[in-house]
Amino acid sequence: MQSTTDKILTTAMECFFQHGYGTSNISMVSRYAGISRVTIHKQFKSKEVLFRAVVEQHFQQNNILIDRYNVSEENFWPETNTLIIQRCEGLFNDVSSSLIRADLLHAGQEFCKDLIEKEENLIKKSIQTRIEKEVAAKRLNLSKVKLSAEALAEALHFAPFGITVSVSAQNNIAFVNNLMAIFKAATSPDSP
């Protein structure tokens, strides 16, 4: 059975996704969830706090995937490609309206900047650690691209970042796959 907090967060996410940040409010969440506004206000003092909680919950769920990535000994490139695609899919990709998605992305930048930066640093550090392991095992060569493990991790993380914030309905997975293929070829220990 879903806890009251989980029900509030699930319903809030549904309201934000259907109506956008600007239109959604605690009264709407209360009506949809069948939970009093007083109960919601006791846990979440404002719409901004509720929105941050929705975003934070999403990041916590994604951190399970990052934890698996960190300890994995599998092939670096396919796993990194999967991690980047999951990152690019983001929280708001299921929103069908590009206007609502743009509204949510703006709200995320305005109210969740610290959460986003923390998540980005976690992902970059995870990729950097995996790169360092690959270099140590001589499965990756950074000398040809003249990048440190930190710089390559940042490039891998941010190069497809436009997909995350794009309001385009276009499928950009092929772009990420092509980008990963270029990085892989450039850092291969066997390439000339």
pLDDT tens by residue, the chain, 192 residues: 789 999 999 999 999 999 999 999 999 999 999 999 999 999 999 999 999 999 999 888 888 889 999 999 999 999 999 888 887 767 777 788 889 989 998 999 999 999 999 998 999 999 999 999 999 999 999 998 999 999 999 998 887 665 555 545 455 677 788 888 999 999 998 755
Rama region for 168: left / alpha / beta (φ>0; ψ in -120 to 50; rest): beta
Rounded-to-10 torsion of CA 82, 83, 87, 90:
60
- Chain-centroid distance of CA 27 in Å reads 28
Does a structural domain hold residue 64?
A: yes
The answer, as to whether pTM is greater than 0.85, is no
Q: What pLDDT is stored for residue 191 in this prediction?
A: 53
Q: What pLDDT is stored for residue 157 in this prediction?
A: 86
Q: What pLDDT is stored for residue 174 in this prediction?
A: 77
Instruction: Check if the beta carbon of residue 139 is closer than 8 Å to that of residue 189.
Output: yes
Max CA-CA distance within the chain? 66
Report d(CA 85, CA 94) in Å as an integer: 14
Does a structural domain hold residue 28?
A: no
Does a structural domain hold residue 21?
A: no
- Chain-centroid distance of CA 54 in Å reads 13
Q: What pLDDT is stored for residue 62 in this prediction?
A: 82
What's the token pair of residue 113? 């900047």
Domain of residue 146: give its range.
51-187
Report d(CA 38, CA 50) in Å as an integer: 14
Does a structural domain hold residue 95?
A: yes
Does a structural domain hold residue 57?
A: yes
What's the token pair of residue 142? 């950074």
The number of folded domains in the chain is 1
Return all residues near 40 (Cβ < 8 A) that are at least 6 apart: 8, 26, 29, 30, 33, 50
Residue type, 99: L
Q: What pLDDT is stored for residue 161 in this prediction?
A: 63
Q: What pLDDT is stored for residue 95 in this prediction?
A: 84
Does a structural domain hold residue 87?
A: yes
What's the token pair of residue 59? 């990041």
Does a structural domain hold residue 39?
A: no
Q: What pLDDT is stored for residue 80 in this prediction?
A: 93
Rounded-to-10 torsion of CA 99, 105, 108, 109:
-120
Does a structural domain hold residue 42?
A: no
Rg, the chain, Cα only: 19
